[in-house]
Amino acid sequence: MSLPEQRVIPALRITQYERSKVFYLDQLGFELEWEHRFAPHLPVFMSVVCDRMRVYLSEHTGDCQVGGLVHFVVPEGKIWYQKFLKRGVPITVLPNHDLGFYQMTLTDPDGNQLRFMEPAPNSA
């Protein structure tokens, strides 16, 4: 059996489906992998993916609380930063090397933090 590269999938709580969909898909550039509702009027549970990084977004109140933090390990953090700037994504914590690697933090409309970080060259 072959395991996928990402074996842990974080879930973040969202409160407004349309607002979160615009943020993750249109602004950040993630793709909608799938979404599920038990009925049309019920909360959504969906999967978004970008560059083989997958996150679940859930409107279900019992899944998790708003205010999560997810770290995305990316190559070429400066390119990601420029991409976010061009798309008008507000950067909560500007790029820095405070922990010894290039990192920046974004905050989604619900207050979840998304930290994009490029490993230090000698951390392989």
pTM for the model stands at: 0.90
Domains, in order of start, for the chain: 11-118 (3.10.180.10)
What was the pLDDT predicted at 120? 79
Close Cβ partners of 102 (under 8 Å, ≥ 6 residues apart): 77, 78, 95, 96, 117, 118
Tell me the three state secondary structure of residue 78: helix
Task: Work out the angle at residue 69's Cα, subtended by the Cα atoms of residues 98 and 2, and round it to the nearest 5 degrees.
Answer: 105
Residue predicted with more confidence, 13 or 4:
13
What was the pLDDT predicted at 119? 86
Q: In which band, very low, low, confident or very high, does the pLDDT at 6 lie, cut at 50, 70 and 90?
A: confident
Listed residue (43, 3, 27) closest to 109, CA to CA? 27
CB burial of residue 28 (10 Å; 0-12, 13-18, 19+): buried
**Cα–Cα distance for residue pair 38/92, rounded to 1 Å:** 35
Whether pLDDT at 21 is above 70: yes
